[in-house]
A and B are shown apart, each in its own frame.
Chain A
Amino acid sequence: MVSSVAMTAADAHRTIDALWRIESARLIAGLARLVRDVGLAEELAQDALVTALEQWPRSGIPDNPGAWLMATAKHRAIDHLRRERMLARKHEALGHELEMEQQLNGGKLEAGADDEIGDDLLRLMFVACHPLLSTEARTALTLRLLAGLTTGEIARAFLVPEPTIAQRIVRAKRTLSDAHVPFEIPRRSELAGRLSSVLEVIYLVFNEGYSATAGEDWMRPGLCEEALRIGRILAELAPREPEVHGLVALMEIQASRIRARTGANGEPVLLMEQNRALWDRLLIHRGLLALARGEALGETRGPYLLQAAIAACHARSATAADTDWVYITALYDELARLTPSPVVELNRAVAVAMAYGPAAGLELADRLAAQGSLESYHLLPSVRGDLLAKLGRYEEARGEFERAATLTHNTRESRLLLDRAAACRRGRT
Chain B
Amino acid sequence: MPYMLLIVEPQGQRRLRSPEEGRAVYEQMLEYTAGLKARGVLLESNSLRAETVRLNMRAGRRSVTDGPFTESKELIGGFFLLDCATREQALTFAAECPAAQWATIEVRELGPCYD
Contact = CB atoms under 8 A, between A and B. Distances in A.
Interface stretch (A68-76, A225-233, A370-378): A225-233
A65 B91 CA distance: 13
A118 B34 CA distance: 12
Given A14-B88, A18-B91, A18-B92, A230 B40 contact: yes
A66 B89 CA distance: 13
Interface string A285-326: 010000000000000000000000000000000000000000
B44 interface: yes
Contact of B92 (A22, A226, A230, A282): A22
A21 interface: yes
Contact of A228 (B1, B35, B40, B86): B40
A228 B39 contact: no
B83 A229 contact: yes
Contacts of B34: 114
Contact of B40 (A15, A61, A65, A233): A233
**How many residues of B sit at the interface, in one of the four size bands?**
20 to 34
A230 B41 CA distance: 9
Interface of A: 14-15, 17-19, 21-22, 26, 61, 64-66, 114, 117-118, 222, 225-226, 228-233, 236, 282, 286
B66 to A, nearest CB: 30
A183 to B, nearest CB: 19
Contacts of B95: 61
B85 interface: yes
A65 B96 CA distance: 9
Nearest to A231: B40
A229 B38 contact: no
Contacts of B93: 22
B81 interface: yes
Given A282-B43, A286-B43, A222 B37 contact: no
Nearest to A23: B39
Contacts of A26: 39
Given A225-B83, A228-B83, A282-B81, A17 B88 contact: yes
A18 B40 CA distance: 15
Contact of A233 (B39, B44, B86, B92): B39
A222 B41 CA distance: 14
B88 A18 contact: yes
Nearest to B41: A229
B100 to A, nearest CB: 11
Contacts of A233: 38-40
B83 A21 contact: no
B13 to A, nearest CB: 20
Nearest to A15: B92
A15 B41 CA distance: 17
